[in-house]
Amino acid sequence: MIRQERRRVREAGVRLRRLRGQEIERAHWEFFARCYRRTYAEHGMRPYLNLEFFLRIGATMPAQLVLVLAERGAQPIGCALFVESARALYGRYWGALEPVPFLHFECCYYQGHRVRDRAASCALRGRRAGRAQARARAASGRDGLGALARAPAPCARGRGGGRARARRTRALRARARRALALSRTARRHTAPIMRRQKEATMRLKGKVAIVTGAASGFGEGIARRFAEEGAGVAVADVNAAGGQRVAGEIATAGGRAIFVHADVTRAADWAKLVGAAQSAFGRLDIVVNNAGWTHRNKPFLEVTEEEFDRVYAVNVKSVYLSAQHALPVFRRQGGGCFVNVASTAGVRPRPGLTVYNSSKGAVILLSKSMAAEFGPDNVRVNCVNPVFSPMTGLSAEFAGGAVTEEAKQRFLATIPLGRFSTPLDVANACLYLASDEAAFVSGVCLEVDGARCV
C-alpha cells in the first residue's frame, strides 16, 4: 500500500526534498509558515505559532530539525516539519498549497530509527516494541491521534510478548478512539469562536486593496499577507498565469481575491483596475504600487532610449496614473492610502543602474509630495524601500547576469544584518503602513534593508 501511494505521488509529478539544520534557510521557513497558516485557515482555526517562533527554533536547535519539501517542478507545494531525536522522527506540522492524493503519507512520517536518504520511509509500517508509533498528520486536518485510532491492529509475534504487545496496542487504540471523539466534539464547539476571534484581530478586515505586480516576488507576498489580514485584494499584473495562480490560491485559503490583467503604464488599464476592485468588493481603501522594471546592470551611456522610457513608465508614471484614478475614489469615501514600493537604490544607489536608481529616487520624492498634497483629504502616502533580493524576477538584471553564489555574496556583503530581504519582510512593512496602526504616518519612507542605507 505504501509503495502504491508513493508511486501515485511520483506520477502526479511531485518529488520530496529533505533539508536538515543549517540547510533550512529563511525562505524555507517562510514557505512552511505559509503552509501552516493555510492549513489552520482551512479548518476555521487561528494558528497559535508564527514565523518568528519557527525562526527561533531553527536557530536554537538546528541539529534536531528536518524539513521535507514537496515540489512539483521547481515550485514547492507542501511542507512538513519534524523534530528528530536519537531514536525517532516526531512529526509536528504539515501543510500544502494544493491537494495531491496520498501526499500526506509521503511527507508526514516518523518511524523508529533515523530516516536516511529516502524521504518517505514506510510511513505506517513496522510497529515494534521500542519504536515510535506512526501517527501521520494528514493534509485533511486529521491528527496523529486519529491516525492511531484508525490504524489496523498489529499482528502478534512470538510467544507471550507478541500477545502482550497486541493487548497494549488495542488498549491504546481504544483510548485514542475515545479521545478522538471528544476532540472532534470540542473542535465543533470551539472552531466558530476561534474564527470570530481571528476575524476580530485582522488588521485589514473590511478593507480593499489593489496590489500591482502581484503575480510573483514582493507583490505576491504583499497580496497574500493582506488577504491573511482580512483585505479583499485585486491582484494586478501583466502575467496572467501568475496572477490567476496567486488569486486562486488566496481564495482557496479562505481569502478574498480577484485577478485583473493590467499594464500599469496605461491609463485605460488603471481605470479598469479601479473599477474591477470596486465592482468585486464594493469599495477601495489601499493602492500598493509595487510593479517595477529595470534595465540590465550596465554603464549609463549603454542604456537605450527605449529602456529609459520603460523604466520611468513602469516605475514612476504608474504612480501618477494610480493617483489619477484612485484619489477621486478615496475623496468620495473620506480617505485612503497609497503604499509605493521604491528601493534602497533611490537612497544609496549602486553603480550600473543609474536610470533605475533615479526612477526610484523620483518615487520617493513623489510619495512625500503626494503625502503633503493629499493630507487634507485624509489620504496617506508612504513608501517602502526594499534591499536586493534574489527571490524577485528582476534580480538577474540587478546582478548584470545570472545570480550566482558569487553575485549573491557580493550583494550580501553590503547588508549589515547579513541576509537578503524576503517577500514577507516587504509585505509586513506594507501591512503596517496600510493598516490603521499607521493612521498618523504619512510621507514616510521605510527602509526594509537590514541597515544597508545606514
Kindly list the catalytic residues: 356
- The H or E element containing residue 66 is strand 65-72
Q: What is the phi-psi region of residue 13: left when phi exceeds 0, alpha when psi lies from -120 to 50, beta otherwise?
A: left
SS3 content of the chain, % helix, strand, coil (to 5): 50, 15, 35
Q: What is the phi-psi region of residue 334: left when phi exceeds 0, alpha when psi lies from -120 to 50, beta otherwise?
A: left
- Burial (Cβ within 10 Å: 0-12, 13-18, ≥19) of residue 266: middle
Q: Record the cell numbers describing residue 42, joined without a space.
A: 482551512
The answer to whether 326 and 287 have CB atoms below 8 angstroms apart is yes
